[in-house]
Structure 1
Amino acid sequence: MAADLRAMILSKDLPPGSKLPSTAQLQQEYGVPNQTVQNAVAVLKREGYAESAPGKGVFVRERPQHVVTPAAFITPAPAGQPYPWLSEAERRGLTGSVDLLHVAEVVPPAQVRLAFGLGDGDVAVLRKQLMRLDDEPAELVHSYYPVDIARGTALAEKRRIKGGTPRALTDLGITPHEFVDQLSTRPPTPEEFTTLELPPDISIMRTFRVVYADGRPIEATVMVKAGHMYEVQYHHVVNPTSG
């Protein structure tokens, strides 16, 4: 029942502000007792999809899913301007903020080592951040950089960078030209569950991104989001072939 209602909310068949079917309607439709209906509605409330209005019923929250456009944050911000992720949050009427959790040289995960061509004991510079929207955890980000690029630069310092890391790379004379994303879903790790303040039984959306400049991988990032709060939007221009 909760899955069916969630699907209707995500498809906009139950748009924001609309009233959920009554307990009596759901009992009749699904042939279940009152408590089962209450449990299903409680799940939707924990997930942030629904909220109660005393004396009126349960309504779909006026909070749409966050739409992620993968290419939007690769282009460096103009000098002196905020990181594009923060600017995009403001454009959508949200307040974005970034908690810088950790900066260090570490042995990265195997997927990152493979992308960078590193050996088992080789290190990379890690920048670990928690992105927030309206002060709520939105995304846990681990970004890795080759040490010959990052060591001794702002990328290796435990401080926020004006304009974000794309700006820092550009200031080093490195301009990203392309990136490759791998998207997957899975249950959260204990750290992800706690840090992102996830409801029970929610999968995360994981993006593994490798950014290239002149054919060389210069950044590898693991981005983890709450799977029920985001949708990914792609925009491709198709060039039809002649003949």
Structure 2
Amino acid sequence: MPSLRHTIAADLRARITTGRLKAGARLPSEPQLAADYKVSTPTLRNALALLQAEGLIEKIHGKGNFVRRPLRRLTYTEGRLTPDVDLHVTIRTTNLRARGDLIPLLKVRARTPLTEFLCLAHQGERPHSLARVYVPRDLEPAELPWWPRPGRAETRELVTARLPTAEEASALRLSTSLAVLAITRVSADITGRVIEVARLTLPGDRAEALFTTHHTIEEMRMER
């Protein structure tokens, strides 16, 4: 038997998907919805959290819960995000020293001077993606970085799904219960020196990663 929160979520989901609740519409207040469904406010909030995790509604602090507008899908492939049109990117630069897991990722000594580029991209008013790029300071580019970084000979990528940190949820305007796609990319030059570590955080309700493997003719013959 479905729980109360799942029953409420199913009813609101149906109202959204059938158009009775339009994109951009503000839902009644949480106390009003709790009264309408004859449940406690915590139970009502648990139901709303299910819809937030599905990307159907969003909660805007101080304003209430709103039906989300259709989301543009993001695809991460070959080190880039598509679509990448109409992007506005703000970049904050910070000088710091290597510590924690940046030391083995960058293959540097503790406290090696680094430059961090914190990049937040928007499409219109909606946050698009968040990236932190770390570069050894002796390799710091004269201009702001646009990756993939030139000179790379090898790139390794680790893709994980996890819950966002409080900072990520705030920057990307996400519920803390909605998973994000976290990509750590390590790029090295022809000598094996790591020239960049990039950490990309994508909203899990509209992001996917695409990987393509290219086989050479020699490899295909060996597989036969």
Q: Deviations over 1:165-184 (max 9, x none)?
A: 44xx54xxxx2222101112
Instruction: Give the letter for the 2:161 counterpart.
Output: T
| Aligned match for 1:225, one of 194, 202, 206 | 202
Asked if structure 1 preserves the Cα contact closer than 8 Å seen for 2:163 and 2:179, the reply is yes
Query: Is 1:142 the counterpart of 2:141 in the alignment?
Result: no
1:177 aligns with 2:157: no
Cα drift, residue 46 of structure 1: 7.4
State the TM-score, normalizing by the size of structure 2.
0.65
Instruction: Give the drift of 1:107.
Output: 1.9
Provide, for residues 106-146 of structure 1, a one-character-per-residue CA deviation record: whole Å limited to 9, x for no partner.
12342221122222222211111111223311221110111
**Which residue is equivalent to 1:196?**
172
Matches within 5 A, 1:100-115: 100-101=91-92, 103-115=93-105
What is the deviation of 1:228?
2.0
**Is residue 2:119 matched to residue 1:89?**
no
Q: Percent identity?
A: 18
Structure 2 partner of 1:27: none
CA distance in 1: counterparts of 2:118 and 2:162, whole angstroms: 20
In structure 2, give the amino acid aligned to 1:89: D
Specify every segment of 5 or more residues in structure 1 that has no aligned partner in the other structure, as ranges. 21-32, 52-58, 74-84
Which residue in 2 is equivalent to 1:98? 89
Q: 1:60 to 1:107 in 2, by over 3 A?
A: closer
* Structure 2, gaps ≥5 residues long: 1-5, 20-35, 59-66
Whether 2:109 is the aligned partner of 1:119: answer: yes
Is 2:184 the counterpart of 1:237? no
- What is the number of equivalent residue pairs in this alignment? 184
Structure number with the higher helix fraction is 1
Q: Could you tell me how far apart the structure 1 residues matched to 2:116 and 2:68 are? A: 39
RMSD: 3.7
Name the CA shift for 1:222/1:42 in 2 (closer, same or farther; >3 Å): closer
State the distance in 2 between where 1:50 and 1:177 align.
43
Q: Structure 1 residues 237, 98: closer, same or farther in 2, change over 3 A?
A: same
Residues 154 and 41 of structure 1: is their aligned pair in 2 closer, same or farther, counting only changes over 3 Å?
A: same
For 1:135 and 1:60, locate their aligned partners in 2 and report how far apart those are by CA, in whole Å: 13
Q: 1:188 corresponds to which letter in structure 2?
A: P
- SS at 2:212 equivalent: coil
Looking at structure 1, the residues matched to 199 and 153 of structure 2 have their Cα atoms a distance apart, in angstroms, of: 19
Query: Is 2:79 aligned against 1:63?
Result: no
Change (3 A) 1:212 1:44: same
Instruction: Please say if residues 104 and 127 of structure 1, whose CA atoms lie closer than 8 Å, have aligned partners that are also in contact.
Output: yes
Secondary structure of 1:89's match? coil
Contact 1:47 1:199 in 2 (8 A): no
Which residue is 1:23 aligned to?
A: none
Q: CA–CA distance in 2 between the matches of 1:237 and 1:35? A: 58
| Match in the other structure for 1:132 | 122
